[in-house]
Structure formats: C-alpha cells, structure tokens
C-alpha cells in the first residue's frame, strides 16, 4: 500500500507536471511576474467557472476577507457575526479592522453557522454576517440571505474551503459557493481544494461598484497611478501562482468528484457504526448520494461519540493513518478573542464538537486499498 497522506500534493502535481512546468518556464521567460497576462487569464477563467461578474485576485485568503470588509466600508465598532467553529482567519480580520467580532454557535450535523444563533445575536450595531462554508459545504444561504435582507446586513462568504461547491436554493436555483452574498472570498493555499504552489486568494462579487473599490484597495488605494484615494493594502497574486491555478481550474470539478467518491466510500464503510457519525450533507443528500454536487469535502470529518476521539487520534498516528482535529478549541475561548459578551451556555454545539471531531485523509489520489485500511483501522479501534 502507498503511504497514506493527509493531503497528497505530490500525486496531484505528477498528473499536471508537464503543463505546469512549461507554463512556469514561460512566465520566467517573459518575466511578467506580477499582474501579468496570466493573472488576467486566470481571473477571467474563474469568473466563467463561478458565473460571477468580478473576480479580484489577491495574495491569500485572509487578505481576501479583510479586503472584502474594507471594500464594504465597515467601520470601527460595527458588529460582524461569524461562526465560533472555524479557522481563526475569519475572526482575526474582523478584529484587525477594529470591527467587533460576534461569535455564534454552529449546527451539530453540518458544522455550519446556526441561523437561530445569528438571529439572537443581531443588534442595532450589526453590519454583516460572515458565513463560513465549513469543510466544503455551504451554510444555509436561503436563511442567511433572508435574515440579511430583513436586517439590512451585508453577507460576506468565507469560501476558503468550498470553492466549486453548489448551493441549491429552496426555489431550485443553483449557485456556486462564494457568489451568493454581497461579496465572497477564497484561498488558494496549497492544501485547499483549488490550491497553488504558494499563497494566493481571491475576492468575488457581482456588484460593479464594490469590485471597482476593491480593485483599488488591493493596489494601495490607487485608482489612477500615484493617486491614492483610499487607504489600501498591497495584496497581489503572482503570475507563477496564476499559471498553476489556470492548469488546475479545468480539473476542479474532477477533483471535487474524486473527493466526493472518497467521502462516499468512507461513509459506506462506517454505516451502522454506533459511535461514529459521518458528515451530513444538505439539500436532502445523505452523504452517500451518488448525484450530490453540494459538498466538495475540503475535510471529511467524523464525530466520535464514545469519548475515544483523542485515543483514536493517537492510535491512528501510531498506525500510519494521518488525521487532524479541525478545530480543537472554540474561537470564543482563544485568548485573543475572549470577550465578556460570551456565555458558555451559548456554545453547546461548538463546545461538544471540539471534543468529538476528527478529519480523515482527504485528497484526489486516495485509492480503495488506502480507504479500506483507514476505515478498518478506525472501526477496529472504536469497537475494540
């Protein structure tokens, strides 16, 4: 059996090596390293793929979120509601901009932000909601967009983990993750579903005015050369990353399908196991549905309900099965984000999830032998 990797960047590179190497050589020859034609070509290709009017490439997914918030003109003291159970980048940029992060609990089955908790947290100072499409599946965007409209709030989608995912609205309309709110952001960090070979990110919007504002912000607030109209940042995608992304984008749907296929195999193997809860997919899918295109499984995350999660992590580490705990500490209990406004009683789900979740190896190169080994090892330990 091939050694099992949590994320297999090498295997994926082998499949696109010639194309990527040639394109990178071309960038070196032309020496258009920043904002060259390759960046524009990737931007246009991603706009087509996502069916969104504007993609603005930038340096990473954290910048993308920050710039989206700057573009919306959010001001110090404005409250921004986001999920307690996510990667810290989401809350970090809210705090950095001196906005007030308001963390709320998530749903126990999808791990995504809890709509009733958002509703409870809305005050006269609330200006935006940041749903994180965690682990590759969209938050309940029907309800979030409805709440936002009712309370006149912006919706900023943190789509770092769900590029390529679809959301089917209640009326049957389908839209790509990241394009449903006022603005969306993503990350092209190497281990993300569409990853480059360094750092990269992008902002998406259908709003022409906001897109214009953001294009200036990513470039030192310049709309005309050496005229700085607003305070901006320096956040660019370089051409070498753009050619990698352009080689991978046409394969993104196939990558997503390979992940779904691995997820289906995992979920089938764990069927009927009393102490193992497999991830739930929305839109009526069961997670082993063969036509599902909603979830792109950035992570395949189980809940271990018999208190053996930590022991399982150790056992897997000792037996050649990499795994991860995303996330081990709720954000409201992280030193940087502790706030008197939070009550432990408001976070029953996150507080439980941090004790139960475990993410399994997930990438495009997993084979049946590896999946069988992983699932048998887990089932053997949990029942042992």
Q: How far is the CB of 203 from ligand PLP (least distance, A)?
A: 12
Q: How far is the CB of 158 from ligand PLP (least distance, A)?
A: 5
Q: How far is the CB of 133 from ligand PLP (least distance, A)?
A: 8
Nearest residue (CB) to ligand PLP, 62 versus 213? 62
Closest CA to 132 of 8, 259, 299: 299
Q: In a 3-state reduction of DSSP, which class is residue 126?
A: strand
> What residue ranges bind ligand PLP (CB under 6 A)?
60-62, 86-87, 89-90, 132, 158, 160-161, 187, 189, 199, 201
At a CB cut-off of 8 Å and minimum separation 6, what does 384 contact?
none
Nearest residue (CB) to ligand PLP, 58 versus 382? 58
Residue with tokens 């839209």: 175
Q: How far is the CB of 62 from ligand PLP (least distance, A)?
A: 3
Nearest residue (CB) to ligand PLP, 89 versus 323? 89
Q: In a 3-state reduction of DSSP, which class is residue 204?
A: strand
Nearest residue (CB) to ligand PLP, 186 versus 219? 186
Nearest residue (CB) to ligand PLP, 11 versus 190? 190
Q: How far is the CB of 373 from ligand PLP (least distance, A)?
A: 27
Angle at 288 between CA 283 and CA 292, to 5 degrees: 40
* Strand-strand pairing, 54-58 and 79-83: unpaired
Q: How far is the CB of 89 from ligand PLP (least distance, A)?
A: 4
Closest CA to 94 of 119, 62, 125: 62
Closest CA to 202 of 229, 181, 183: 183
Taking CA atoms, 156 is separated from 9, 83, 198, 251, in Å, by 29, 12, 24, 26
At a CB cut-off of 8 Å and minimum separation 6, what does 269 contact?
371, 372, 375, 376, 379
Nearest residue (CB) to ligand PLP, 90 versus 166? 90
Which residue's Cβ lies closest to ligand PLP?
61
């Amino acid at each position: 059996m091939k050694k099992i990797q949590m994320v297999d960047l090498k295997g994926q590179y082998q499949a696109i090596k010639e194309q990527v190497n040639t394109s990178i050589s071309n960038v070196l020859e032309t020496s258009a390293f920043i904002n060259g034609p390759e960046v524009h070509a990737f931007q246009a290709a991603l706009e087509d793929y996502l069916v969104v009017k504007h993609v603005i490439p930038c340096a990473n997914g954290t910048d993308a979120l920050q710039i989206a918030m700057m573009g919306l003109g959010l001001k110090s003291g404005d409250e921004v509601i986001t999920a307690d159970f996510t990667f810290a980048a989401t809350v970090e940029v809210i705090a950095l901009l001196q906005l007030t992060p308001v963390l709320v609990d998530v749903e126990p089955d999808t791990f995504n932000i809890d709509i009733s908790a958002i509703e409870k947290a809305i005050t006269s100072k609330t200006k935006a909601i940041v749903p994180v499409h965690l682990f590759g599946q969209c938050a309940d965007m029907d309800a979030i967009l409805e709440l936002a409209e009712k309370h006149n709030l912006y919706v900023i989608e943190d789509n770092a983990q769900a590029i390529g995912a679809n959301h089917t609205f209640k009326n049957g309309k389908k839209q790509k993750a990241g394009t449903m709110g006022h603005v969306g952001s993503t990350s092209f960090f190497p281990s993300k579903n569409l990853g480059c070979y360094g750092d990269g990110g992008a902002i998406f919007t259908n709003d022409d005015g906001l897109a214009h504002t953001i294009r200036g912000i990513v470039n030192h607030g310049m709309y005309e050369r050496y005229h700085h109209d607003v305070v901006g940042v320096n956040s660019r995608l370089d051409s070498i990353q753009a050619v990698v992304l352009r080689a991978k984008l046409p394969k993104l749907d196939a990558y997503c399908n390979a992940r779904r296929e691995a997820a289906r195999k995992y979920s089938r193997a764990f069927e009927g196991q009393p102490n193992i809860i497999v991830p739930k997919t929305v839109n009526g899918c069961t997670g082993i549905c063969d036509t599902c295109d909603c979830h792109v499984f950035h992570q395949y995350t189980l809940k271990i309900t018999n208190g053996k999660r930590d022991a399982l992590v150790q056992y897997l580490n000792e037996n050649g099965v990499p795994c991860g705990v995303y996330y081990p500490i709720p954000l409201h209990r992280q030193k940087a984000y502790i706030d008197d406004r939070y009550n432990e009683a408001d976070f029953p789900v996150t507080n439980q999830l941090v004790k139960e979740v475990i993410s399994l190896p997930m990438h495009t190169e997993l084979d049946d032998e590896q999946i069988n080994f992983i699932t048998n090892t887990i089932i053997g330990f949990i029942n042992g």
